[in-house]
Structure 1
Amino acid sequence: MKLSTPRYSFCLLFQLIFMFLDLLFNCISLFPRSRDGLLVLFIFQDLFLVLSITAMLMTFFSTYLFQAGLVEVLVRKFRAAAVVCGAYVCGSVALHAAWLLHRWPAPHTVSTPLLTVLFTLQRCLSPWYYFFYKRAALRVSDPRFYEDIDWINHQLQTH
């Protein structure tokens, strides 16, 4: 199945919107007004992270490589993006859970060292996530992933 340009553009638009919303939620979460608002904000941020990963997986599933069972080529090409995206999602969920568990009973308490480490880790991973996610979204649009049998054969022979 060939990924058409309008379909890919639509999917890419949603992926970029999800990335932008994640960045926006990261900025807004620094200034919580209420713990209920913070909970809703974190739920939406995690939801958009799951949706962005789902959109990326849908583009992978529509490639000829995946449909022909040549998943190892996709894994080899997008391993770094998968690792960074997975680490960022895990870091974000861990930060949100720790933040809510720590601040829910007493909203104006001082941060713990664990919360500081998780916050720093999540914020340091975020630029890498944005870079690798956007790069993977753009690289998967390469027409060779959808039709070029010679290129696929060459990829399988070199590794």
Structure 2
Amino acid sequence: MKLSTSRYTFCLFFQILAMISDLFFNCMSLFPRTRDGLLVIFIFQDLFLILSITTMLMTLFSTYLFQAGLVEVLVRKFRAAGGVCAAYVVACVALHTAWLLEKWNEHDSISTPMLIFLFTVQRLLSPWYYFFSKRAALRVADPRFYEDIDWINRQLETR
């Protein structure tokens, strides 16, 4: 059960593309003048977030550890990445919802303290999301996740 090089390369390429597109949409969200433009940007950003997480999960599901039912080892190895990704998705959805609700009611509204707080939290989480997402994508390529039985036994012993 080896992860083929071409398949892993596609997964890594897609993860990096998703991170670059997320960064692009974060930057572009500051410029739209209309609420419709903002809505389109947020839809695409959330779509790329979901696709990025789905790609990472599919890669994790293809490991020998997952297929053998040793999910606990995978959870231990990728817990930080999963937590940061989940927090970033929640922060993005909360920011997008609050921003759109504010813009939908009043086109030229001034930002509320809650919107500024959500914006700051989302922007502070984004570098952590990029780091942990890239790190997880690179770590899942480790051949031990696909074939090294001795390594898996040592991981199970260190519970």
TM-score bracket, normalised by the shorter chain, equals: over 0.9
- Structure 2 counterpart of 1:14: 14
- Structure 2 counterpart of 1:44: 44
* Residue pair 1:2, 1:147 contacting (<8 A) in 2 also: yes
After TM superposition, where is structure 1 displaced by more than 6 Å over at least 4 residues in a row?
Answer: none
The size of the alignment, in residue pairs, is 159
Q: CA deviation at 1:7?
A: 0.7
* Residue pair 1:2, 1:62 contacting (<8 A) in 2 also: no
Q: Distance in 2 between matches of 1:148 and 1:103?
A: 54
The one-letter amino acid of 2:74's match is: L
Post-superposition CA distance 1:90-145 (Å, at most 9, x none): 00000000000011121211111110110000000000000000000000000000
Q: Please tell me the root mean square deviation across aligned C-alpha atoms, in Å.
A: 0.6
- Structure 2 counterpart of 1:101: 101
* Residue pair 1:88, 1:126 contacting (<8 A) in 2 also: yes
Question: What residue ranges of structure 2 are gaps of 5+ in the alignment?
Answer: none
Q: Distance in 2 between matches of 1:113 and 1:130?
A: 26
Question: What residue ranges of structure 1 are gaps of 5+ in the alignment?
Answer: none
Q: What secondary structure does 2:107 align onto?
A: coil
- Structure 1 counterpart of 2:23: 23
Q: Distance in 2 between matches of 1:31 and 1:7?
A: 36
Written as runs of structure 1 = structure 2, the 5 A alignment for 1:63-78 is 63-78=63-78
Post-superposition CA distance 1:57-113 (Å, at most 9, x none): 000000000000000000000100000000000000000000000111212111111
- Identity percentage over the alignment? 75
The one-letter amino acid of 1:56's match is: M
The one-letter amino acid of 1:154's match is: R
